[in-house]
Amino acid sequence: MNAPVGQGISGRPTHVTAERFFGQSIIVTGAAQGIGLAVAHRIAYEDGNLVLVDRSELVHDVAEQLRGVGKGTVDSVTADLETYEGAQQSIDFARTKFKNLDIVINNVGGTIWAKPFEEYTEEEITKEIQRSLFPTLWMCRATLPCLIKNGGGTIVNVSSIATGGVNRVPYAAAKGGVNGIVSALAHEAAHHNVRVVATAPGGTLAPERKVKRGPGPEGEKQQQWYQEIVDQTISSSHMRRYATLEEQAAPICFLASEEASYITGSVLPVGGGDQG
Ligand SMILES: NC(=O)c1ccc[n+]([C@@H]2O[C@H](COP(=O)([O-])OP(=O)(O)OC[C@H]3O[C@@H](n4cnc5c(N)ncnc54)[C@H](O)[C@@H]3O)[C@@H](O)[C@H]2O)c1
C-alpha cells in the first residue's frame, strides 16, 4: 500500500540514552525497514545486543550498517514469522548468539489492502490475519519458555490505532487480537516476571517501502479507499499529522526498557491524540 512518504533513518538518533540496553539481549522482528528498523537503530546506539529478524534479505544489510555503532552485537536472520516454524527458528538462532534473551519486540504486520469490509474476499481476510496477528502470536508462544527459564523478560508488541479506523477491518481485527494477547498474556505471565506491553502507532511517515506490503491501490476506486484512510488518520489525530519513525521507535524502546518496569498489560496509543 502507498503511504505518505517521509524521511528514513540514518546517523545518530535525535535522542539517545547511552547504555540503556547495555548487556541486554533483544530480538526485533520486521527490522529490514520502517518502524522495526528505527527501533533497531535506536537500540544499537543504546548499546543493546541485537538479533534482527525479517523475511527479507535486506535485514542483513541493516545489521551490517548497525554493527559497531554501539557497544552491543548485531546479528540477523531471515524467517517467515507467519509460521510457528519461522518463529521457533528465530528463537533458536537468537539462543546461539545470546546467553539470555531479555526483550522481544514483535513488530511484523501492516495492512495489505484498503477497502470497505464488504469488498474483501475470504482469501484477502485470511492473508490480513496471517500478516498482522500470527507473527506476534507465534513469536510470543516461541519466546515465552525462554523468558520464563531466564527468570523474566519483556515482550513489546506493535499494534495499531487502526482498531478504530476505516477501510481495514481485517487488519483491525488482527491488531485487536494483538491487544488481546497483551492483556491476557500480561496477566498470565506476570508471576514469571514477564512484562507484556504494546504501542499502537498512528499513521507514520517512512521512505517508500523497499519491501512492499502488497499490490498497492491499483484502480481509481482503490486509490480513493486508500485516500479515505489517510484523511481519516490525519483528522482523528489531534495533531493533524503523521508521526516520524523516531516518534514511533521512542515509546517502543521506553516500554522495552527497565524504565517501564511497573508497566504491563498496557497498549499505549501513539497517534498524536488518536486513541484508536
Ligand atoms: N507505518 C504505519 O503507518 C503504521 C501505523 C500503525 C501501525 N503500524 C504497525 O507497525 C508495524 C511496522 O509497520 P511498518 O510500516 O514499519 O511496516 P513495513 O511494512 O514497512 O515493514 C514490515 C517489515 O516486516 C517484514 N515482514 C513482513 N511479513 C513478514 C513475515 N511474515 N515474516 C518476517 N518478516 C516479515 C517485511 O519484510 C518488512 O521488512 C506493523 O506491525 C504495522 O502494522 C504501522
Residues lower than pLDDT 70 in the chain: 1-2
In a domain, 97, yes or no: yes
Per-residue pLDDT, 1: 58
In a domain, 18, yes or no: no
Task: Please state the atom number of ligand 1 nearest to the C-alpha of residue 136.
Answer: 41
**Which residue of 41, 54, 60, 129 sits with most ligand 1 atoms within 8 Å of its CB, as the best mutation to test the pocket?**
54
Answer whether 265's CB lies under 8 Å from 187's CB: yes
> What is the domain count for the chain?
1
The Cα–Cα gap between 63 and 56 comes to: 12
Could you give the 3-state DSSP secondary structure of residue 18?
coil
In a domain, 8, yes or no: no
The Cα–Cα gap between 100 and 102 comes to: 6
Residue with CA at minimum distance from ligand 1 atom 20:
34
Inter-axis angle of helices 122-132 and 169-189, nearest 10: 40
The Cα–Cα gap between 149 and 156 comes to: 18
In a domain, 210, yes or no: yes
Sign of CA dihedral 54, 182, 9, 27: negative
- With cell 519461522, the residue in question is 86
Q: How far is the CA of 191 from the centre of ligand 1 (A)?
A: 31
The Cα–Cα gap between 31 and 81 comes to: 12
In a domain, 155, yes or no: yes
In a domain, 2, yes or no: no
The whole-angstrom distance between residue 108's C-alpha and the CA centroid of its chain comes to: 5
Answer whether 66's CB lies under 8 Å from 41's CB: yes
Single-letter residue type at 59: V
What's the domain range around 220?
A: 25-268
Could you give the 3-state DSSP secondary structure of residue 105?
strand
In a domain, 273, yes or no: no
Residue with CA at minimum distance from ligand 1 atom 27:
108
CATH number at residue 205: 3.40.50.720
For 34: left if phi > 0, alpha if psi spans -120 to 50, otherwise beta; the answer is left
Task: Please state the atom number of ligand 1 nearest to the C-alpha of residue 248.
Answer: 10
Answer whether 155's CB lies under 8 Å from 195's CB: yes
The Cα–Cα gap between 41 and 188 comes to: 31
Per-residue pLDDT, 216: 82
Per-residue pLDDT, 4: 85
Per-residue pLDDT, 8: 87
- With cell 526485533, the residue in question is 28
- In tens, the pLDDT along 149-176 reads 999 999 999 999 999 999 999 999 999 9
In a domain, 274, yes or no: no
